[in-house]
Chain A
Amino acid sequence: MSKENKSLSDIWSLKRRGKRDSDRHKELVKDAIKKHGKDLITEYNIITTDGDKKIKVPIKFLDQYKFKYGKLNNNGGVGQGVDTKPGDKFRIGKDNGQKPGSGSGKPGDETAERTYDAEVSIDELVDVLLKELNLPWMEPNQGSSIVAEYEEVDSLEKRGINPDLDLKKTILQNIKRNAAKGSAKIANINQSDFRYRSWETVREYHSNAAIYIMMDRSGSMGLEKRYIVKSFYFWMVQFLKKRYDNIKLIFIAHDTEAFIVDQEQFFSVNSGGGTKCSSAFKLAYEHILANHPPDKYCNYVMEWSDGDNWGDDNIKCVEYVEKLLPLVTAIGYGEVTPNAESPWIRDDQRLSSLFSEKINRTRFVSMRVSSRDEVFSALKMFFNIDSISKKKSIV
């Protein structure tokens, strides 16, 4: 070995290079997430995560475009280690047909699609998606709070106008003065006893939202439908979290009757029986009146069903939505109707059709979603009505 050979550390800065270029790759992946954020919206891993911690999203490696084969004619090869003869047939499992990685130190040109887990935080994703939704008001602290103004006694003064005279404090002052002279009694009230209230205007900023998360849990709401609903609610809550300091989630599950349940029950329990969506709207209405007055809370009410509502209940739903409208920032009704489903409910009998016909308000939206891919546009619709009503009611 010759001594004058350059030592490796002279030539290369090995530790840094891989890191630097992989950082650049990650940057480009993030750009790609930005471009394709909405494709990630129903990603199962995201929906099932809890909290704001970083999550791993399976992302396809960026394509490096090349002249590349599409379909190879030679769908065979040479195998080994099986004592066999021509004409023999074997059934193979899915994995066995794949070629293993080369494992050697040469740059490979694997043709199989590779994916890896990009680490992003929910927060980052929410930002990406919000940008895509293009809702400027979603920026935090912009018209997002309800202002309650009232006057509050700030201090007591010796000068003032008669209506502001605080009789109790004045008499107390008189007693104090007499007590100092020897006897604690009410006597000789004069100007020096008078105490006037001084008012100060107080503004209270409420950044409170109550979100009514409602879902039909009748037998026809299968796994896939509930998954779509869950995706929708997951992102809805994430977006609203960006905007309000305090968020109350009220989960209302219903079949023909509605109940307030906890989150876990909400997504897991199915029941048999029919569907009366009005029961959920009714319960939300009562709950808002009792707990979340609109001057303190921005109320969001959303109901998902598969449209299989009892016919005579439809009109009741319309009634309750009308009642709810003045109490809410936004209210919506969504129908999950996967395409494969037999359309034995006539369209004109659907609650969504009735809603579209009867209610035409900026705060209300009725929509239909048939697959996971449409969750993003559903969110967009829902938050667009919110955005319009915001502009009208507050700004």
Chain B
Amino acid sequence: MNNNLKEKLKEIEDIAEELRLDYYPVVWEVVGQEVLLGVMSYGLPTRGRHWSYGQSYEYQKMQGEMGHSKVYELVLNNDPSYAFLLDTNPDIANIMVMAHVFGHSHCFKNNYLFKQTDNKMVYHAAERARRIDDYIEQYGLKAVEHIMDIAFSMDKNIDWHKGVLREPYSSESGVKKSKNLADTEFSDILGTPKQKAVTQQTFPPYPEYDLLWFLIQYADLKDWEKDIFQIIREESYYFYPQYVTKRLNEGIASWVHAEIMYRMKSLTEAEYLEFVKIHERVVQPGSNKLNINPYFLGFTILNDIKKKWDEKYKNGESEIDGIDKIYEVVANEDDTSFVRLYLTQEIVDDLNLFCYKQIVDKSSNQIIKITSTDLDDVIEHLVKDTYGYRTPEICIVSANHDGMELEQANPEIGTLDPKHLKNVMGYLFEIWGAPINIKTVDEEGKELHYTFDELGFSG
């Protein structure tokens, strides 16, 4: 980091204290575009090697080359937070990024969802990556890659509320694990089923949404396979809050950088103008009228909160001022509740937000039909758009030696992609060792059943 940046960092830290920001220590690293892209595609600096990260890396690189996306900043949810500055950024851009990073780090440390994540993940992921390297050495790249492919195929199907650490179902729920399947009297007739669970009543006791957890507990996996499943599952829990706090997280980071830059005394007029230009690019509505820039929406709502609560505080209607109210919101909300509680009709009108439906007319033109500009409708549409990992909700309804029954729990959102479904069911069949059935719906809402068994995929 050059001396100018070092001095500015000092000033930024002082202002952050003024603003009562509460963040993890930040470790700064100035890097080239290539390294930044690398960390971006992994999401963490070191994760078990897998081709999909390489694919993501290629994709990011290509996007960069085509000028589609310029990466300005990257900060990792960890204690300490690791933050990367791009060496080709002009100083003023990096100064803004530093201010922005403190906003993120504050969110990591205080938001109720991020608080549940592993804040030593950077180190843990590195250890796990080493373990995966060992497995590759021991079992071969192809075998490990295949197990990772399987784990990644359902890593977004988690159950956040049950949490990453869970006990097996209690034995009263009708589950009994047989000690050794080879001892059972039918084993020579039935072959050796892969799963260990023996059903007495209904199993699992309730529909299970955390698919990897279920397989780790009840499928007949080798220890290293379980470990890989667990690694990928835990990383999925680690990333989950980022998906459901996007507007809030980018909103607070943008609000913080704007506030800090505004208060910085050492910036020349030219630097400040330059900052305003970059800032506007970050928090502008975006040229795409049909998609909302999360930075922009979050930033706008937080500014509105600040204004209102400063007013209330002044009038004695609130015990906390605008800034503290912002921190309260950042601590307690996610994107869904944030929008539900704090988006107002005034903001909707001000930003000209509208709900639309995409239709195709008789001459097959794509038509956008405006359906509503009402606050409630806008909120409902926004909330739908942000829910979870945007993965179909799949649950295990029952599982035993004879097979596994799955169900799509949210068919009203959309159908399942059949090509992907076929392959993922194939993976499940391989792991569970018995036919896999799934119940879902087609486009018209009619019930559909697919099976994957010895004969392959059928529906």
For A114, the chain B residues whose CB sits under 8 A away are 59
- Contact string, B332-355, partner A, CB cutoff 8 A, digits 1/0? 000000000000000000011111
Please name the residue on chain B nearest to A76 by beta carbon.
B357
Interface majority SS on A: helix, strand, loop or mixed?
Answer: loop
Which one of A12, A26, A75, A82 lies within 8 Å of B357 (CB-CB)?
Answer: A75
The contact of A76 among B50, B57, B149, B356, by CB within 8 Å, is B356
Considering the chains assembled together, what is the distance between the CA atoms of A348 and B424 in angstroms?
A: 50
Cβ-closest chain A residue relative to B416: A70
A363 to B68, CA, bound (A): 54
Residues of chain A within 8 A of B443, CB atoms compared: 71
CB distance from B21 to the nearest CB of A (A): 15
B417 touches A79 (CB 8 A): no
Q: Which residues from chain A contact B423 at a C-beta distance below 8 Å?
A: 63, 65
A66 on the interface (CB 8 Å rule)?
yes
Q: Interface code B22-48, partner A: CB below 8 Å = 1, 0 otherwise? A: 000111010100110111111101100
User: Once the chains bind, are A75 and B358 in contact (CB under 8 Å)?
Assistant: yes
Residue contact B373 to A81, C-beta cutoff 8 Å? no
Across the interface, do A100 and B286 meet the contact criterion of CB distance under 8 Å?
yes
Known contacts A17-B46, A18-B42, A67-B154; A78/B57 CB under 8 A: no
Instruction: Determine which of B26, B370, B412, B424 lies in contact with A66 in the assembled complex, contact meaning CB atoms within 8 Å.
Output: B424
Would A96 and B43 count as touching, CB distance under 8 A? no
Structural contact, B424 and A96, CB atoms closer than 8 A: no
A68 within 8 A of B: yes
Residues of B within 8 A of A25 (CB): 51-52, 54-55, 57-58
Which residues 165-186 of B have a CB within 8 angstroms of A?
none
Is the pair B34, A18 in contact by a Cβ cutoff of 8 Å? Answer: yes
A5-B27, A82-B289, A100-B291 are known contacts. Are A106 and B43 too (CB-CB below 8 A)?
Answer: yes
Interface contact A63-B420, CB-CB below 8 Å: yes
**Residues 382-410 of chain B: 1 if any A CB is under 8 Å from the residue's CB, otherwise 0?**
10110001111010000000000000000
Q: Which A residues are within 8 Å of any B CB, using their own CB? A: 1-2, 5-8, 11-12, 14-15, 17-18, 20-28, 61-94, 96-97, 99-101, 103-107, 109, 114, 116-117
Whole-angstrom CA separation of A100 from B430 in the bound complex: 37
Q: Does B49 touch A at the CB level, under 8 Å?
A: yes
- The answer for the CA separation of A106 and B108 in the assembled complex, in Å, is 14
Question: For A69, what are the chain B residues with a Cβ–Cβ distance below 8 Å?
Answer: 390, 392, 413-417
B378 within 8 A of A: yes
Q: A17-B38, A81-B351, A103-B69 are in contact. Are A70 and B414 (CB under 8 A)?
A: yes
Measured between beta carbons, the chain B residues less than 8 angstroms from A66 are 152-154, 156, 391, 420, 424
Q: Which residue of the partner chain, among B50, B57, B59, B385, contacts A77 with CB atoms under 8 Å?
A: B385
Kindly state the separation between the CA atoms of A20 and B129 in the bound complex, as whole angstroms.
14
**Distance between Cα atoms of A84 and B291 in the complex (Å):** 16
**Given known A-B contacts A17-B38, A67-B394, A79 and B51 have beta carbons under 8 A apart:** no
**Residues in A whose Cβ lies below 8 Å from that of B384:** 74
Size band of the interface chain B makes with A: 35 or more
Q: Are A14 and B45 in contact (CB under 8 A)?
A: yes
**With A5-B25, A15-B38, A17-B46 in contact, do A73 and B52 touch (Cβ < 8 Å)?**
no
A20 touches B54 (CB 8 A): yes
**Are B80 and A5 within 8 A (Cβ)?**
yes
Q: Would you call B290 and A70 a contact (CB within 8 A)? A: no
Residues in B with CB closer than 8 Å to A14 are: 31, 35, 38-39, 45
Given A2-B25, A25-B58, A80-B351: A20 touches B49 (CB 8 Å cut-off): yes
Determine how close the nearest CB of chain B comes to the CB of A76; give it in whole angstroms: 4
- In the complex, whether B239 has a CB less than 8 A from a CB of chain A is yes
| CB closest residue in chain A, given B288 | A100
Docked-complex contact B288 and A89, CB < 8 angstroms? no
Stretch of B192-200, B226-234, B360-368, B450-458 that contacts chain A: B360-368
**Beta-carbon contact of B55 and A68 below 8 Å:** no
14 other contacts beyond A14-B38, A14-B45, with CB at 8 A cut-off?
Answer: A2-B80, A5-B80, A18-B41, A21-B53, A66-B152, A69-B413, A69-B417, A77-B381, A78-B385, A81-B289, A82-B289, A97-B358, A101-B68, A109-B390
Q: Is the CB of B414 within 8 A of A74?
A: yes
Binary CB contact string for chain B from 294 to 311 against chain A (1 if under 8 A, 0 otherwise):
000000000000000000
Nearest first, the 5 closest Cβ-Cβ pairs linking A and B are A21-B54, A22-B54, A18-B38, A25-B54, A65-B423
- In contact, A21 and B50 (Cβ under 8 angstroms): yes
Whether A67 contacts B421 by the Cβ 8 Å rule is: yes
